[in-house]
């Protein structure tokens, strides 16, 4: 552990030099702006392996925050190198060259259309309400690391398909995906058990009390088994209608993130206007994308 903490610019330069030394002859290392979901640009160091399209993107601000906490640059470097070397297990041979090899592994993600305008210029997508459905191919999972290939317009041209074909294939695969529907209380308890963080537990408990004070009815959380881009459950109308039939009533749908949706039973305690105001207040008190509610 270092006695004196490096400033951010010094940390960046040392990180780049260490990566260049480690990957000498195997790849190139350079800084660029990484495009995250919702068109957010963040400074990143890119490690691109020679002879392949595969690259690792490491967001330097995030790494610096971790370094500030430990002041252990060597430990930080080991984490960066581990992350970089786990990415190249996806080389050219794993990227599907034909539609036949791609379609069974094709999936969709639901994102906010207005917050991803720049990214959507490079990707085929289908509009759904004020959302956008984009596509990706599952490549491989190894050692807890999942690799996926976002479907670009180049991929679509290579496979000789159109957006309608992408949509139909990914929707077929969606019908076979397993989703979980649990009460907000159960979701909170499971999250707390997994994270084991006292501060987060207190935050969840406060949120629960806040919901009780607001007089909001029973809320369900819907996501997939891996809790990764589970908001596509909004397209599984069979599941949503099944829950509505089981509970004997309709639900409002609140897409709260790309990973999950919330279902609020329509029991007369809240109105559509109440929900609009609630969503407005939440969106203007955080940096998360704007949500929208629906009724089924």
Domain boundaries, the chain: 8-89, 92-174, 179-295
Ranked by mean pLDDT, the top range of 22-36, 213-227, 229-243, 262-276 is 229-243
Segment 267-281, tens digit of pLDDT:
777 777 777 777 666
pLDDT exceeds cutoff 50 at 210: no
* Nearest residue to 178 via CA among 135, 232, 109: 232
Segment 178-189, tens digit of pLDDT:
998 988 878 777
Ranked by mean pLDDT, the top range of 57-71, 81-95, 133-147, 274-288 is 57-71
Helix axes 60-70, 8-22, angle to 10 degrees: 100
Sheet of strand 40-49: strand arrangement: 27-36, 40-49, 55-59
Read off the tokens for 66.
């971790």
C-beta atoms surrounding 258 within 10 Å: 19
DSSP E strands, 50-178: 55-59, 106-112, 125-128, 131-142, 145-150
**Mean pLDDT along residues 204-232:** 68
User: Which residues, 6 or more positions from 291, have their beta carbon under 8 angstroms from its beta carbon?
Assistant: 254, 255, 256, 279, 282, 283
Segment 24-71, tens digit of pLDDT:
877 778 777 655 555 556 777 878 776 555 667 778 888 888 888 788
pTM beyond cutoff 0.75: no
DSSP 160-178: T--HHHHHHHHHHHHTT--
Read off the tokens for 205.
């408990």
- For residue 212, what pLDDT band results from cuts at 50, 70 and 90? very low
pLDDT exceeds cutoff 80 at 211: no
């Amino acid at each position: 552990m270092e006695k004196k903490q490096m400033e951010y610019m010094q940390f960046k330069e040392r990180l780049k030099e260490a990566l260049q030394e480690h990957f000498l002859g195997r790849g190139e290392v350079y800084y660029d702006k990484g495009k995250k979901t919702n068109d957010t640009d963040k400074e990143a160091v890119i490690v691109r392996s020679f002879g392949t399209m595969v690259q690792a993107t490491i967001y330097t601000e995030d790494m610096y925050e971790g370094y500030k906490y430990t002041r252990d640059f060597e430990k930080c470097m080991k984490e960066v190198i581990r992350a970089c070397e786990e990415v190249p297990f996806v080389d050219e041979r794993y990227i599907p060259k034909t539609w036949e090899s791609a379609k069974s592994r094709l999936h969709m993600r639901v994102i906010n259309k207005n917050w991803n305008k720049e990214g959507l210029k490079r990707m085929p997508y289908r509009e759904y309400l004020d959302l956008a459905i984009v596509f990706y191919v599952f490549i491989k999972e190894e050692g807890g690391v999942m690799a996926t290939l976002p479907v670009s317009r180049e991929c679509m041209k290579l496979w000789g398909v159109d957006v309608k074909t992408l949509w139909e294939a990914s929707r077929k695969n969606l019908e076979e995906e397993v989703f979980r529907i649990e009460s907000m209380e159960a979701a909170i308890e499971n999250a707390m058990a997994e994270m084991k963080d006292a501060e987060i537990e207190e935050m969840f408990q406060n949120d629960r009390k806040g919901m009780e004070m607001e007089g909001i009815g029973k809320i369900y959380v819907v996501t997939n088994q891996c809790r990764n881009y589970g908001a596509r459950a909004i397209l599984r109308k069979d599941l949503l209608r099944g829950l509505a039939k089981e509970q004997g009533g309709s639900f409002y749908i609140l897409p709260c993130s790309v990973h999950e949706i919330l279902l609020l039973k329509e029991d007369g305690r809240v109105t559509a206007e109440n929900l609009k105001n609630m969503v407005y207040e939440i969106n203007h008190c955080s940096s998360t994308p704007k949500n929208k509610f629906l009724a089924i």
